[in-house]
Amino acid sequence: MAIDPYGNQAQPRRRGFGGGGIRWWVLLLFAGYAAYYWISNRVDDPLTGEKVLIDQSITPDDEKALGLQAWNELQQTEQVLPPTDPNAKAVKQIADRLIA
């Protein structure tokens, strides 16, 4: 044990599960909720047949509205490249390959 310059006895460190107090319970509750959320929101993707995580609390119409809102905000803050730009053409070619 280290010697305290003020003459106080050093307290031994608590080790193990009880040393963290309520922090462990908060972590365990959060991990439990995350596992429940992950398991309960997994569905089969009709295109790929794989199990995917999809938030069931938002409807497709709400998701489209959020995407449109994000696109409008992006257009206000960023300059969108014209379709004739080489970078825009490269992105379109990559997207076409991914979609095909």
Which of 37, 29, 32 lies closest to 53 in space, CA to CA? Answer: 37
- Looking at residue 94, its pLDDT comes to 95
- Looking at residue 46, its pLDDT comes to 85
**Which residues does residue 42 pair with via DSSP β-bridges, in sequence order?**
53
What pTM was computed for the model? Answer: 0.48
Model confidence at 95: pLDDT above 70: yes
Model confidence at 17: pLDDT above 80: no
Structure token pair of residue 23:
């922090």
Q: Grade residue 100 by pLDDT with cuts at 50, 70 and 90.
A: confident
The Cα 28–Cα 34 span in angstroms is 10
Model confidence at 26: pLDDT above 70: yes
